[in-house]
């Protein structure tokens, strides 16, 4: 399922480069502090509902090696999973791209998760409305409760994914258009001190 | 102890047992698209059996559940919605969660707000 995006590394833009024997620079990098300011993951994959959990588990396990705050990882995982499922449900084909950025090393100060894909034009207005509603609410938890009540009346789908990101993961949602692709970005910044 | 239902998928499993005054639903693995096809009928059946058996409590053990997607959360919400419409004195619902699974605290908080008089959350 996972393909390496032609213009981006698979993961870990902050990783130390592979050392070579006798390479003083490489030895200095390896023996230096592990702390880095930014850790990013970028993946391009064919959206497939059956494989979303595998992707989520990969990014969770990757960030667990760097970040000790399980709650930040959980928020990232909720956003990544729900956005990837939406892409799998509503993409019209081609690759979907997952981008995750966590800044601040072991004590994260910014968390960003985005998924871009070719979207069904018929879904765009619904997506715009949902993101506008979730962006304008003064009480994300209360709005989430309203979404939950509405979900009980729906026959198809839950309609909960974006509201869950907004309320449970405490992230704001931004809708961007990139050529023929739509990008939904979830951002949490600044992450409160007591959570990092 | 009587087993009422069992579901076994590659990355998701669920068992429902009846013990004394309780029904216990244990879910493990990933509650995602593979679980979705089973969860709504499982919870509908659990609800009916709970009423038939006159149990006072349903325990939902998700301590070994790695994740639940929003589609499966909807099935839980619909079940809570049905259960809270039952007459007073019907069964209560206790979620058994793991403090190590951070998503559980956040999701269960939302669920407990949805059905305040029905749901209790225990973390271990």
pLDDT tens string A173-188? 999 998 889 999 999 9
Band of pLDDT at residue A12, cut at 50, 70 and 90: very low
* Neighbouring C-alpha atoms within 13 Å toward the C-beta of A92: 10
Residue A123 structure tokens: 């879904």
- What was the pLDDT predicted at A47? 84
A19-23, A64-68, B95-99, B114-118, range with the lowest pLDDT: A19-23
Please spell the DSSP secondary structure of A48-71, one letter per residue: -GGGHHHHHHHHHHHHHTT---HH
Query: What value of ipTM does the predicted structure carry?
Result: 0.95
Q: What predicted TM-score, i.e. pTM, was given to this entire model?
A: 0.86
> Would you call A64 exposed, middle or buried from its count of C-beta atoms within 10 A (0-12, 13-18, 19+)?
exposed
Cα(B19)–Cα(A164) distance, integer angstroms: 34
Band of pLDDT at residue A20, cut at 50, 70 and 90: very low
Specify the DSSP class assigned to residue A129.
H
Average pLDDT over chain A, rounded to whole? 82
- What was the pLDDT predicted at A125? 92
Angle, nearest 10°, between helix axes B70-83 and B102-114?
Answer: 30
Say if the Cβ atoms of B81 and A152 lie within 8 Å: yes
Specify the DSSP class assigned to residue B101.
-
- What was the pLDDT predicted at A194? 52
- What was the pLDDT predicted at A15? 37
b (16+ CB within 10 A) / e for B41-73: ebbeebbebbeeeebeebbbbbbebbbbbbbbb
In this prediction, residues A154-160 reach a mean pLDDT of 92
**Confidence check: pLDDT of A6 > 80:** no
| Spans in chain B with pLDDT lower than 50 | none
- What was the pLDDT predicted at B87? 84
B52: left (phi over 0), alpha (psi -120 to 50) or beta: alpha
- Beta-carbon pairs below 8 A across chains A and B: 75
Band of pLDDT at residue A26, cut at 50, 70 and 90: very low
With an 8 Å Cβ cutoff, is B30 touching chain A?
yes
- What was the pLDDT predicted at A18? 36
Say if the Cβ atoms of A85 and B34 lie within 8 Å: no
Residue B73 structure tokens: 């959360």
Nearest residue of A to residue B115, measured between CA atoms: A145
Q: Between A156 and A29, name the one with better pLDDT.
A: A156
Q: Which of B30, B70, B101 has the CB atom closest to A158's CB atom?
A: B70
pLDDT tens track for A86-102: 999 999 999 999 999 99
In this prediction, residues A13-25 reach a mean pLDDT of 39
**Confidence check: pLDDT of A165 > 50:** yes
- What was the pLDDT predicted at A179? 86
**Confidence check: pLDDT of A62 > 80:** yes
């Amino acid at each position: 399922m996972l393909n390496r995006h032609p213009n981006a590394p698979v993961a870990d833009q902050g990783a130390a480069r592979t050392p070579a024997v006798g390479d003083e620079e490489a030895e200095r990098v390896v023996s230096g502090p592990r702390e880095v300011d930014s850790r990013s993951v970028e993946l391009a994959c064919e959206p497939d509902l059956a494989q979303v959990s595998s992707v989520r588990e990969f990014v969770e396990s990757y960030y667990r090696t760097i970040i000790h705050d399980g709650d930040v990882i959980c928020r990232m995982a909720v956003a990544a999973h729900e956005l990837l499922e939406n892409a799998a449900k509503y993409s019209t084909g081609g690759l979907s791209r997952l981008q995750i950025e966590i800044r601040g090393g072991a004590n994260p100060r910014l968390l960003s998760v985005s998924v871009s894909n070719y979207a069904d034009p018929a879904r765009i207005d619904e997506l715009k409305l949902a993101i506008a509603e979730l962006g304008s609410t003064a009480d994300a938890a209360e709005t989430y409760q309203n979404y939950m009540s509405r979900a009980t009346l729906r026959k198809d789908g839950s309609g909960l994914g974006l509201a869950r990101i907004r309320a449970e993961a405490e992230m704001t949602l931004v809708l961007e258009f990139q050529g023929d692709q739509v990008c939904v970005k979830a951002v949490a910044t600044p992450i409160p001190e007591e959570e990092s | 102890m009587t087993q009422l239902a069992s579901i076994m998928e590659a990355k998701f499993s669920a068992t429902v047992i009846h013990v004394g005054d309780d029904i216990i639903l244990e879910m493990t693995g990933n509650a995602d698209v593979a679980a979705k096809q089973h969860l709504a009928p499982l919870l509908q059946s659990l609800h009916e059996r709970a009423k038939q058996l006159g149990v006072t409590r349903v325990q939902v053990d998700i301590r070994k559940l790695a994740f639940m997607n929003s589609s499966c959360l909807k099935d839980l919400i619909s079940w809570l919605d049905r259960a809270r419409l039952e007459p007073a004195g019907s069964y209560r619902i206790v979620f058994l969660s793991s403090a190590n699974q951070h998503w559980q605290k956040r999701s269960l908080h939302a669920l407990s707000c949805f059905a305040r008089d029905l749901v209790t959350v225990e973390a271990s």
